[in-house]
Structure 1
Amino acid sequence: MFNYEVRARKTYKQRRQNPPERDFIRLYRFTSENVMWMAEHFLGTSNETRGGSLDSFTKMKIFLRYAADPGFQTGVAEDIGVSQPAVSYTIKCVAQKIMNKAHIWIRFPQDNEAIQEEKQRWLRRYNFPTAIGAIDCTLIRIKKIHVNRHGNEYICRKQFPALNVQATCNAEEYFTSVSAEWPGSVHDSRIWRNSSVCRVFRTFNNAVLLGDQGYGIEKCLMIPYRNPATPREEAFNNLLKRERVIIERCFGQLKQRFPTLQNIIRLRLLVIPSFIAACFVLHNVAKYLKDEAVLEEENNDNDNDDDNLDEEDNNDPAQEVQRREGQRKRNELTEIMFQNI
């Protein structure tokens, strides 16, 4: 017969007393009320603790404490009062539970009505015509990958192992898509071309995302002129660069709330993409819950990103068609913008 008392001793350690709310926010990056709400929403209501089981609130705290702590799982285990294996297993399970409801929280517009709503939302705050949001990639550090054939693929341009994570956001600083499975050496434009967002968005007309030189120009993705030669082109570049910074701000808020994304994620490689994407989901949840306590305390810093990359060379004829259509679209928007200056 299985000895539940032995299992409980292995799972639990002596716990810390409940911290004051201010300390709770520093430890878990959300208010205690919002952590309880997220636990019920993503994990369901469970107070079962027999045989060493963890209740939903404790599971969510473990996930958030790891996301908030740039250290090791052993430190999280000491903070919560559980064993390190319990921390590892819980992080994986909670990430998967969050991803099961990711479609509720991260949604890219799928039809003309949604596209029009996003364009109107953008113009209420910004000025770039036909824009619905911004796009960029950010590097997330991971442990060194000991894979004989593929380990070097994870070494990014800054010479450390990473995943190159692509995301889009809208005018209200919600993430509308995230792709977190690509090795750090993969170019931004390749991630874009292979994304579901690209396949969907290319079917629409008269709507664009704002990107940087890491992407190639096309009719639905605007990037700056490489060498602006006229006042019109200068005006276009200035407006695009000023407004696409919103995606940098979103990345900064994300990494500020979850500092482990600024350091090194020490998880198994197969778990890391879902963990990262789950943090993106919780960013949107924080917006929905108006939980901004962490953002008010600390500086917004996102130093992993670089918008000075050159466009990836590509001799694909289909890509050349996209490039010409994008250049034509950019020239049209430049004329419209110059008339309104």
Structure 2
Amino acid sequence: MDTFTDNEFRRRFRLSKNTVQYLYTLIGDGLEPLVTRTGFTLSGLDKILITLRYYASASYNLVTADFYGVSETSVRNIIPVVSDKIAALRERFIRMPTDDLEIDETKRAFFRVAGMPTIIGAIDGTLVKIQEVGGAYNKTMFFCRKQFYAINTQIVCDANAKVLDIVARWPGSIHDETIFLNSLLFERFLNGEFNRQNRQSILLGDGGYSSETFLATPLRETNQQNRTPAEVMYQRAHIATRNVVERFNGQWKKRFPCLWIGMRFRKLETTLDVIVATAVLHNICKITNDIIIPPLSRDEEARYNEAVYEETQIRNAQHPARRAPHTISNLVLKQYFERIAGDN
């Protein structure tokens, strides 16, 4: 680590030296030293750096191996182990607010964004590109409309773009709403786990979701010119508030380019571990105030923008007008925004 300046280190490993040291205190004891065929001993910290270098580049194992001066086989064995160790920290670093104080503070933070009440999280699905799917999996299920393989990953964020919940196991062809309806988080909301003293907690989602009793979606795009002042206020507040999860996607994928360049692992489980591990690292960066995301090169920036554009096109095509009534959306509109509009 001493070989590089702080800026050089961050550009190569996407984290600051202090954050890497903190990560080492969390998982270092579980990473046994490895003696390579050439007699070189890799410490637990070396293993972490090799894994982070992959997250930062998504390069072939041989490229990562040459960067660190070890064999390709060593890299192939190290990345799954370290990724599993980091992903195992998810219960500590990725969790929904549960007690009254946490829930109330989460709602207040969202309200400060654009005046949207009772919001406890912003939900979205994002496509994580993979090179291909091996084994007995049905490859066509992972194939997106833009002709690449992907994992559709469900993310819930708070107002500070911190991950509250993640589901990383569904093929890229599966719709966001299907993932949500089959998630543990859906069951928790259905059971009223986040409601307190008759005060409801709700999620914000885009037009790809039906409006449940606990998930508010945008108003339909029809009759925009005939909207009431309250409807205009609701729509603007919804868009501005839900933008936090879009901001997370940008921060997450720019910090860890492996998420949009495309991962290539023999086992799908390793890919899923990497997705969760990078989300854990994102939250750790929030805790350590490691908020400076190293810039991409000009070529990387162009490729990233192209990847974002392709995903946006896919998502827009997968968001037909919902037939279900906007139950909670209408409730928030009538009980809050109509009153506010009337006061004005």
Provide the TM-score with structure 1 as the length reference: 0.84
Any conservation in 1 of the 2:11–2:294 contact (CA below 8 Å)? no
Cα offset, 1:330, TM superposition: 4.1
1:148 to 1:128, Cα distance in 2 relative to 1, 3 A: same
Count of matched residue pairs: 319
Cα offset, 1:60, TM superposition: 0.9
Instruction: Give the match for residue 251 of structure 1.
Output: 249
Instruction: Give the match for residue 37 of structure 1.
Output: 22
Residue 217 (str. 1) matches residue 211 (str. 2)? yes
RMSD value, Cα: 2.7
Cα offset, 1:235, TM superposition: 2.4
Instruction: Give the match for residue 102 of structure 2.
Output: 114
1:336 to 1:133, Cα distance in 2 relative to 1, 3 A: farther
What SS does structure 1 have at the residue aligned with 2:59? coil
1:224 to 1:92, Cα distance in 2 relative to 1, 3 A: same
Any conservation in 1 of the 2:132–2:264 contact (CA below 8 Å)? no
Cα offset, 1:40, TM superposition: 1.8
1:339 to 1:272, Cα distance in 2 relative to 1, 3 A: farther
Q: 1:25-62 CA deviation, whole Å, 9 max, x = no partner?
A: 11101122321221121233878455655312111101
Matched letter for residue 235 of structure 1: M
Equivalent-residue separation in structure 1 for 2:32 and 2:3 (angstroms): 17
What SS does structure 1 have at the residue aligned with 2:154? strand
Instruction: Give the match for residue 319 of structure 2.
Output: 310
Matched letter for residue 257 of structure 1: R
Q: Mark the runs of 5 or more structure 2 residues left unpaired by the alignment.
A: none
Query: Which region of structure 1 is more displaced relative to structure 2, 38-47 or 186-195?
Result: 38-47
Q: Mark the runs of 5 or more structure 1 residues left unpaired by the alignment.
A: 1-15, 315-319
1:209 to 1:86, Cα distance in 2 relative to 1, 3 A: same
Q: 1:7-32 CA deviation, whole Å, 9 max, x = no partner?
A: xxxxxxxxx99233322111101122
1:217 to 1:275, Cα distance in 2 relative to 1, 3 A: same
What SS does structure 1 have at the residue aligned with 2:42? coil
Query: Which region of structure 1 is more displaced relative to structure 2, 71-80 or 148-157?
Result: 148-157
Equivalent-residue separation in structure 1 for 2:46 and 2:102 (angstroms): 37
Provide the TM-score with structure 2 as the length reference: 0.83
Cα offset, 1:133, TM superposition: 2.3
Cα offset, 1:336, TM superposition: 4.0
1:163-202 aligned within 5 A: 163-202=151-190
Instruction: Give the match for residue 11 of structure 1.
Output: none
Equivalent-residue separation in structure 2 for 1:45 and 1:148 (angstroms): 31
Instruction: Give the match for residue 341 of structure 2.
Output: 338
Matched letter for residue 319 of structure 2: D
2:132 to 144, 148, 156: 144
Any conservation in 1 of the 2:57–2:258 contact (CA below 8 Å)? yes
Equivalent-residue separation in structure 1 for 2:10 and 2:170 (angstroms): 32
